[in-house]
Structure 1
C-alpha cells in the first residue's frame, strides 16, 4: 500500500448528515479505514442500513463503528430512548445469561444495519459518586461481578458477528472529571488498577474481545501521558501483560484531554507510537478538513522518521480486521429489553397511590456521551394513569411543586440526584413537608433522601422509564404487578 493509503486506513472519522457526503464516499473508495456513526446520522434502522450499503458500495470491507451501548448512551434510539437497559441495570439483575442475550439481540440489530464494530461495552466501574461521565454506563462497582458481565456482553455481541470494544482502558470510574473537557489524573497506583479497574478488561480479553478503546486518562506511575498516548499503557500493559491481540481504538482525539494537551494532530502520532491502531475523531469535529489534517500529520511523521512505517502497517492490518460486511444474524426482540428493565427495578417503601399523581421530572443536562435523548417519567405515567399531571423543572421550585400538587401524591424523578444539589434538595424538602411522595431515581442510586417510597431504575432509557411507570400504574390501580 502507498503511504497515504496506509495512513487513511487507520482513520475512523465521523460526518454530518443521514447520507454519506461526497468527501466520505471519495475517501472510502480511496482507502479510508471507515467511519463512526452518531445520533446525527440516524433516522431509523432502515435508513442506517441504506447509509452503510452506500459506503460498502465504494469498498466492501469498510469499517462502520457506532457508539451503541444501550441504556442512556444510544444512537439507534436517540429519538425515543433505548429499547434495552444499560449496563448498570443489567449488572443489578446479575444474570449473565440475560446480559449475553441482550448483547446478542442488539448485535443482531446492528448487523442488520450494516455496522461492523460496536463501541461497547463499558468495562469501567462505578467507583466514586463524583464520577461525571460513567455512572449507569458501567455494570457496577464490584470488579469481579462487572467482569463477568463484560465477558458475557462481549460474547453475546460477537456471537452476532459484531466486533465488541471494551472501553475506556484502563478504566474511567475513579475519575472526578470528564475527559471530554480536561485531562483526568486517576488517584490509583498500578497495584490498585490490577486489583480493581483492570479486572473487567482482563475478562474482556479472555472472552476474545476484538477491540479495546483507550481512555484519555493519566496513571501517574505510567508517566504523564494519558493512556491513549502512553506506550506503557497500550503496548506493555494492555498487549504485553493482558495479552490483547486485537485493535486498539482511541477515544475521540478532539476531546479536551488530548486536544487541549498534545493537540489533535500530534496526539494522533503519539497514539500510534504508543500502540493504538485506529484513530477515532468526529464526535464534535466532522468534516474533510480535519481528516486531511490528520492524514498529512501522519505522513509527515513517517517521512521525518518519527513514526516507523512498520508500526503504521501493523495498525492498518488490525484496523482492516474490523471491517465488513457482516451477515445479519438472529431477530430483534424488543420484548427482551422490557423484561430486563423490569427485573432491574428496586423498590423500598409502599408505592400505593391514592389518586392520579403529579409527576415532577427534574431535568439536568445530559452528559456529552449520552447527548440529548428523551427522558422523563411523566409521558409514560400520563398514558397509563389518566388524570396524571406532569411538571418539568430544574429542581428549584418547591413552592411550584406544592401549588401544582394540590394535595395529590407526588412522584419526583431524578437522574443522579447525589451529583445535582438542586435536585437533591428538592426531594429532601418535599419529603420533610410530609407529602405522599415517591422518589424515582434513574441514575446511580444515591443516599436515601427521606421519601416514603423509592424506585431505583438504574438507568434512564425508554424501557427503564416505562417499567417504572408500569409498576406505579399497577399500584395506582390497587394491584401489585410484581
Structure 2
C-alpha cells in the first residue's frame, strides 16, 4: 500500500472484521469513534451490563454511532447469560431442553431470547452451543450442551437456530469442530480432541451439519487441537479445518466467527495481534477479540493486520472476502426500532428433565422445618459470576446457623469426587439433619437431584417439586 487512500481503505477493511469488547457500563469514546469510522462489530459482556435501563441507554448510544453494526451477545440461556448476568437466566438452558427432547420447546426458548435481544438492538447471538458433551468431566461445556447423543444435539441445534433466526437474530453454532470431548478448558489451556476422522464426522460434526442445512448465519471456531484434521494448528488457525472442512466439505457460506482471541488456547504464546492475523489467514471472517479491551490493545490488532497485508503474509483478498461476509450478515439482520419487551418465560415442567433418587419422597414427607444451604462453587469463564441455584430464588443459611432437627436442601454444582458438598452432607447427617443434595449441573455421583443446569428457572422448579415456597423473580 503506497498512498494514504490505500492505507485508509485497508484500515477500513481491518475494522470490518473486528469484534472487540470494552471496559465499563458506558461507551468509551474510542469505541464510539471506531464505530462511526466503520468498526464492523461489538460484543457486549456481563461486565458491561448493570441493569435494563443502563443497557437500553448503552445500546441506543451504540446504534446511533453505527446503525448497521453487528452487535453480539453470548446469550445461550441457562447457565450462560449476559442479559440476565445480574439475576440469572429466565430460560432453562440447553441440557434441560435436550432432556425434554421437544424441538418446539427449544425453538420457543430461542425465540424468547431473540425477542429480548432485538428489543435492545442486538442482532447476533453467539449461540447455540452445538457441542456433543461426551466427556462427563468436561469443565467448560457440560450443561451448555443439548446432550451426549449426536442426533439429539443436531436436532436441537437446528431448532434453536430456527427460533433465533425466525426473530431476525443471527445464530452462531459453536465450538467448531466440536469441544464436547475435552477434559480441559480452552479459556485456560489448549485442549486436544483425539478422535479418528470417522468418529469426528459421525459425532462432533453432526450438529454443525444440521445447522448448516438449516441456514445458520454464523459458526464459531474453537481453540482446540484436532490431530485427525490438523496436527499442527488449533482449529481457529487451521485452513484445513476452516477451509477444507467447513467451507469446502460441509459447504458453509456464512460468517466464521472466532472464539475470543484473549483466551489462553488462542493467544497465550503469541498475543492477540498475532492470533488475529493467524485466524484471518486460516479463513475466519469476524474476530472476537475478547473482553476488557483498551484503545491501545485494539490498535495493536489493527496495525498487525495492516502490517501482515503490507509484508505479504495476509492476502488482501482474504480480508475483502471476510469484510463482505460480515457486511452481508449485518445487512440481512439489520435492527429496526422496537420497544423493549418484558421478560418472557417459556413454560414447561422442567422437573421431567431431572434425575432423582429414592430419598426424595421421604424427604418431602418429613414434617421437619426446611432450611437451604448452598456450597459456593467456582464457575468456568464462559458462565462468569451469575446468580445460580437456590440462592438465586431464596434465602440460604450457613451450615453453622442451621437449627437443630431441620431438614436440609444442600445445593452445589460442578460436582466431583472431591467436591466439598460430600463432606458437608456427611457432617450434617451425622449432626441429625435429613439432607438432600441437589446437583445444579451435569450428572455426578453423590446427588439426590440432578437438574442439568443452574438457572433460577430450575431452582424454582426444584423448590416447587419439593413443596418449598420460593421468591418469584424474572
Asked if 2 retains the 8 angstrom alpha-carbon contact of 1:135 and 1:443, the reply is yes
8 Å Cα contact 2:377-2:414 kept in structure 1: no
Q: How does 1:86-105 map to 2 (within 5 A)?
A: 86-105=93-112
Cα distance in 1, alignment partners of residues 250 and 30 from structure 2: 39
Quote the offset at 1:262 in angstroms. 3.5
Tell me how far 1:296 sits from its aligned partner.
Answer: 0.2
Cα deviations by residue, 1:406-460 (Å, 9 ceiling, x for unpaired)? 222121111021265322443466568884222211100113x2x7xx2222111
Q: Is structure 2 residue 89 aligned with structure 1 residue 72?
A: no
Match of 1:241 in 2: 249
Q: Tell me, yes or no, if the aligned pair for 2:44 and 2:73 is still in contact at 8 Å.
A: yes
Residue of structure 1 equivalent to 2:357:
348
TM-fit CA distance, 1:190: 2.0
> Aligned equivalents of 1:412 and 1:170: distance in 2?
37
Report what 2:5 is aligned to. Answer: none
Q: Residue 89 of structure 2: SS of its match in structure 1?
A: coil
For residues 207 and 352 of structure 1, the distance between their equivalents in structure 2, rounded to whole angstroms, comes to 48
1:213 is matched with: 220
* Number of the residue aligned with 2:407: 409
Q: Assess, with a 3 A threshold, how the Cα gap between structure 1 residues 354 and 146 changes in structure 2: closer, same or farther.
A: same
Count of residues paired in the alignment: 456
Deviation string, structure 1 residues 373-396 (Cα, Å, up to 9, x no partner): 1123156355xxxxxxx334xxxx
Asked whether 1:360 is paired with 2:373, we answer yes
Is contact 1:337-1:463 (8 Å) kept? no
Q: Distance in 1 between matches of 2:203 and 2:133?
A: 11
In the alignment, what sits opposite 1:479?
none
Conserved? CA contact 1:353–1:475, under 8 Å = no
Does 2:436 match 1:438? Answer: yes
Show the counterpart of 1:391.
397
Identify the match of residue 288 of structure 2 among 280, 284, 296: 280
The answer as to whether partners of 1:417 and 1:424 remain within 8 angstroms in 2 is no
Write the distance in 2 (CA, Å) between the matches of 1:208 and 1:330: 28
Partner of 2:306: 299
Q: 1:376 aligns with which of 362, 386, 389?
A: 389
Deviation (angstroms), 1:301: 0.4
Residue 50 of structure 1, CA deviation: 2.7
Structure 1 CA distance, aligned partners of 2:145 and 2:392? 27
Is residue 161–residue 329 contact of structure 1 (8 Å, CA) maintained in 2?
A: no
Report the secondary structure of 1:35's partner residue.
Answer: strand
**2:452 pairs with 1:464:** no
- Contact 2:21–2:45 (CA<8 Å) still a contact in 1? yes
- Please tell me whether the aligned partners of residues 381 and 470 of structure 1 are also in contact (alpha carbons under 8 angstroms): no
| Structure 1 residue 362: Cα displacement | 1.1
Helix, strand or coil at the partner of 2:277: helix
What residue number does 1:473 align with? 467
Task: Return 146-155 or 330-339, whichever deviates more.
Answer: 330-339
Shifted more, 290-299 versus 45-54: the winner is 45-54
Whether 2:261 is the aligned partner of 1:263: answer no
State the Cα distance separating 1:343 from its structure 2 match: 4.6
**Corresponding residue of 1:142:** 149
Q: Secondary structure at the match of 2:334?
A: coil
Q: Tell me how far 1:347 sits from its aligned partner.
A: 3.2
Q: How far apart are residue 320 of structure 1 and its match?
A: 1.6
CA–CA distance in 2 between the matches of 1:309 and 1:132?
39
Note the C-alpha offset of 1:356.
2.2
Distance 1:465 1:311, change over 3 A: same
Q: Deviations over 1:74-103 (max 9, x none)?
A: 111011110111111111111110000110
Change (3 A) 1:380 1:30: closer
Cα distance change, pair 334–51 in 1 and its aligned pair in 2 (3 A): closer
Paired residue for 2:3?
A: none
- 2:26 counterpart residue number: 19
Are the aligned partners of 1:249 and 1:280 in contact in 2 as well (CA < 8 Å)? yes
Deviation at 1:261, TM superposition (A): 3.0
| 1:2-47: CA deviation from partner (whole Å, max 9, x where unpaired) | 0000011100000112221110010011111111000111133443
Report if the CA contact (8 A) 1:101-1:156 is conserved: yes
Q: Does structure 1 residue 201 correspond to structure 2 residue 204?
A: no
CA distance in 2, matches of 1:330, 1:128: 42
Any gaps of 5 or more consecutive residues in structure 1? 383-389, 393-399, 477-482
Change (3 A) 1:289 1:49: same
